Amino acid sequence: MTIFTLDKVRKTFTNGELKEDILKGINLSLKSGELTALVGASGSGKSTLLTIAAGLQPASNGQVLFDGQNLTAMNSEQVRKIRATQFGFVFQFSHLVPFLTVEEQLILMLDVAESTLSKNEQKREVNRILKLVEMEHRKDAYPASLSGGEKQRVAIARAIIHKPKVLFADEPTASLDSKRSKDVMALIREITKTLNITTLMVTHDEEMLSYADHVIKMSDGMVLQNGN
């Protein structure tokens, strides 16, 4: 089922009299349970496309449609609400809160997403998600004691603890070695399928493309190739 559609999305930055077109009329559809990878050289527009889809910045023209709703027509508070409750985010670095344990990181995300679960229910859900990412044995650990791969697993758990419909991943393996990169990508793919999440990922690493259902190649703000 198509859950996300970008229709003729453009992004233009203005600096005085100079205008630069970063995105030049992008059309894109994303389905539940599928992992789509955006690839291209630096400056191709892939990260800009991801941030517009995620509601982190507005498009200059065009529409962003999510689950039957037009994000382009919403005010900033409405978009923030969807971002907090329906979207999950994984970045190049885990950005874990240094003074919170693994368990507390996930409970904080539930609070941000305005979860209605009781404290006991939250703890049970945290245990379930940490088991899914094979980190339940580290729930009382602080970030400083975790390896890079472990931190990304916790970041993924935090991104999905509130059961989002869409997962946005921006260079999620860029700070990891080859083995940990493959482990993290296998986990992201498994979660996409198991939880029926729509995943949109930006990557420079072509070795990671084998984990994707669809690969979209971008150049100069345009889609060069959109395929399997």
Backbone angles phi, psi at 109, to 5 degrees: -65, -40
Per-residue pLDDT at 12 = 93
Total domains in the fold of the chain: 1
Average pLDDT over residues 55-65: 93
CATH code, 59: 3.40.50.300
Question: pLDDT tens digits for 176-195?
Answer: 888 889 999 999 999 999 99
Residue 121 in domain: no
Residue 176 in domain: yes
Residue 158 in domain: no
Domain that holds residue 88: 2-97+165-227
Backbone angles phi, psi at 137, to 5 degrees: -75, -10
DSSP 118-186: -HHHHHHHHHHHHHHTT-GGGTT--GGGS-HHHHHHHHHHHHHTT--SEEEEESTTTTS-HHHHHHHHH
Question: pLDDT tens digits for 112-170?
Answer: 888 888 999 999 999 999 999 999 999 999 999 999 999 999 999 999 999 999 999 99
Residue 112 in domain: no
Residue 25 in domain: yes
> Which residues touch 108 (CB under 8 Å, ≥6 apart)?
97, 100
Residue 127 in domain: no
d(CA 169, CA 139): 23
Per-residue pLDDT at 52 = 94
Per-residue pLDDT at 42 = 86
Considering only residues 228 and 188, tell me which one the structure prediction assigns the higher pLDDT.
188
CB 114 within 8 A of CB 84: yes
Residue 118 in domain: no
Residue 148 in domain: no
